[in-house]
Amino acid sequence: MQTIDVMLGRRSYPIHIESGLLNNIPSLLGEVNGDRKWVIISEPKLLDLHGNTLRLNLEGAGFACDVITLEEGEASKNLSVYGSIIERLIELQCDRTSAILALGGGVVGDVSGFVAATFLRGIDYYQIPTTCLGMVDSAIGGKTGVNSPSGKNLVGAVYQPKGVLIDPELLHSLPRGEVQSGLGEVIKYGAIRDKDFFHKVSSWLDDTDAFPFEDAIAQCCTIKAEIISKDEREGSLRRILNFGHTVGHALEAQLGYGTIRHGEAVSYGMKCAGKISCEMGFLSEEEFILLSSTIGKLPLPTLPEIDKTALMKFIRVDKKWENLQLHFVLLKQLGKAVISTAVTEDLIKNSLEVFE
């Protein structure tokens, strides 16, 4: 088992990565069980695939365990669903010693984390990501929250889990498209922080059937853990994790949550950010072409015609605006990201030609 630590003083926690790890969760959590109540939050399909077995294993090891389900997809990431989960926790007589196990992808993890952050002013939770996107990105770092009609993740909190438990074998139960969507975030980590890793990923994408997921997940987790340990609340360095997300989040909001997968939207956003980086004289033309061709190895959906004016409305409410300035993540070179407040609306609109 590989263990990567997110170093945050008293809020430090481990990321455990191992094929078959799901079956070992009762032993991993045995020392912190005590008399507390555990609540698995997941989706119906995931409960059928993994959650019911997890619950039986926990109960067999002496854990008091309940389950809360939410409907699949981004539509569940809202304040109404959040409120219903809070009410259910009250019905289950949960208290400050209770703990949540978030079994699912980014939606389950974000909603569960926000519930944990706010129920009784904060209870423990553990992330058990079941998607590629969750394993390499959303389950790590403590970003929690829900969407509003105006944009993505506009309501939330930074609240760290007690641990992240990653079983790469769970990816085998996912639709192929869902797994490939998460590879956009894998590309991101190499692009912003590790050029050698970027080249490895680009090569691995030539044969996705043989993609070494466990190695890729471990490297992405190592990069993110290092960044979070240095900048927990996105004051400076952590901003680079938003590479591709400004346009990506706007695409998700404009097209409708769930219409395009998050990783797919971010992939298009990275192509836009790469083009802007090139236009502003940061990224060389050669490296922009390499970035675009690597992203092009993913089976991205064909986009409908995008209303540029409408898209800009969503970008204007993006949470990366501060003091009327948009903090836009660009590439100085592959493996080295920079933050710019000089990206204009015209540059963004011109970059959208990569959609064509």
Question: Which residue numbers are catalytic?
Answer: 121, 143, 185, 224, 234, 238, 242, 245, 249, 262
Pair of tokens at residue 152: 């993505």
Query: Which of 144, 105, 141, 130 lies closest to 262 in space, CA to CA?
Result: 105
- Beta-carbon contacts of residue 269 (< 8 Å; ≥ 6 apart): 243, 244, 245, 246, 247, 248, 249, 251
Q: Alpha carbon of 310 to those of 154, 177, 313, 352: distances in Å?
A: 18, 28, 5, 13
Angle between helices 285-295 and 176-193 (to 10 degrees): 160
Contact, 50 vs 197, CB < 8 A?
no
CA gap 111, 230 in Å, rounded: 25
CA gap 26, 252 in Å, rounded: 37
